[in-house]
């Protein structure tokens, strides 16, 4: 399928072919959900930790005798029932990541790209390059084009001036094509892919 390529001025420059097996798929929420969960689980640090009964600093001595007090039976003050005691079955340091087949990951990325095209949220840009690294200049261009919450995917390397200018603009992310992922694509309102990024993506997923 053919789609137009625009410049930063919003004018049509040329047309490119989008592969049907990448940009023409029907989205399946279950596949997208699996890939997003896989991504987010890998980002979790897993450093949450509480002290158990064996790690608190109270004395291990039995606080009072077993019988004859008229109260409940207790051992030491490290029991979870007491303030400052250990926590019962609390969180431990662990790895939250899980496996997901490569085929499912690739399919999820294709479906995310297809959904952006179907919802008219995909823009093909000729080049993401700037002569200067002025944030104001880039921000004015984005506003004139009407892009909101934008993700720009470039080729193997992002232009240095463009990356610097985009750094201080809220709701604008810039990634090289190897960093393209389902989560970032789905959460953006406008997906902008350069011609170099498009060619690299289509080659990567062939």
Do 190 and 131 share a structural domain?
A: yes
Q: What is the pTM of this model?
A: 0.83
Do 153 and 71 share a structural domain?
A: no
Do 138 and 62 share a structural domain?
A: no
Domain of 101, in residue numbers: 2-45+97-204
Decide if pLDDT at 23 tops 90.
yes
> Quick one: pLDDT at residue 36?
97
Q: What is the DSSP string of 124-174?
A: EES----SS--HHHHHHHHHHHT--SEEEEESSS--HHHHHHHTTSTTEEE
The predicted-structure confidence for 183-201, as pLDDT tens digits, reads as follows: 999 999 999 999 999 999 9
Do 11 and 86 share a structural domain?
A: no
> Quick one: pLDDT at residue 205?
87
Do 62 and 33 share a structural domain?
A: no
- What does pLDDT average to over the chain? 93
Decide if pLDDT at 44 tops 90.
yes
The predicted-structure confidence for 46-86, as pLDDT tens digits, reads as follows: 999 999 999 999 999 999 999 999 999 999 999 999 999 99
Do 184 and 133 share a structural domain?
A: yes
Q: How far is 92 from 107, CA to CA, in rounded Å? A: 34
> Quick one: pLDDT at residue 125?
94
Q: Please report, for residues 40, 74, 97, 129, 139, the alpha-carbon distance to residue 181 in angstroms, rounded to integers and kept in the order given.
A: 11, 54, 16, 22, 24
Last residue of a domain, one of 90, 119, 145: 90
Beta bridge partners of 3: 16
The predicted-structure confidence for 100-154, as pLDDT tens digits, reads as follows: 999 999 999 999 999 999 999 999 999 999 988 999 999 999 999 999 999 999 9
Mean pLDDT to the nearest integer, 34-38: 97
Query: Which CATH number fits the domain that encloses residue 156?
Result: 3.40.1370.10
Mean pLDDT to the nearest integer, 29-46: 96
Decide if pLDDT at 156 tops 90.
no
3-state helix, strand, coil in the chain (%, to 5): 35, 15, 50
Decide if pLDDT at 1 tops 90.
no
């Amino acid at each position: 399928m053919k789609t137009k390529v625009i410049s930063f001025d919003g004018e049509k420059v040329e047309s490119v072919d989008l592969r049907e097996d990448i940009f023409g798929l029907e989205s399946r929420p279950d596949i997208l959900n699996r890939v997003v969960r896989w991504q987010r689980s890998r980002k979790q640090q897993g450093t949450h930790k509480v002290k158990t009964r064996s790690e608190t600093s109270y004395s291990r001595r039995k606080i009072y005798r077993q019988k004859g007090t008229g109260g409940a039976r207790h051992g030491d003050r490290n029991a979870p029932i007491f303030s400052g005691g250990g926590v019962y079955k609390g969180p431990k340091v662990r790895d939250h990541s899980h496996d997901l087949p490569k085929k499912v990951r690739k399919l999820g990325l294709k479906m995310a790209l297809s959904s952006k095209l179907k919802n008219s949220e995909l823009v093909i840009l000729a080049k993401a390059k700037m002569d200067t690294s002025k944030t104001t200049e880039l921000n004015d261009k984005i506003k004139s084009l009407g892009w909101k919450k934008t993700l720009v995917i470039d080729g193997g390397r992002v232009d240095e001036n463009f990356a610097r200018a985009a750094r201080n603009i809220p709701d604008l992310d810039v990634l090289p094509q190897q960093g393209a992922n389902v989560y970032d694509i789905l959460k953006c309102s406008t997906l902008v892919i350069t011609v170099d990024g498009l060619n690299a993506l289509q080659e990567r997923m062939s």
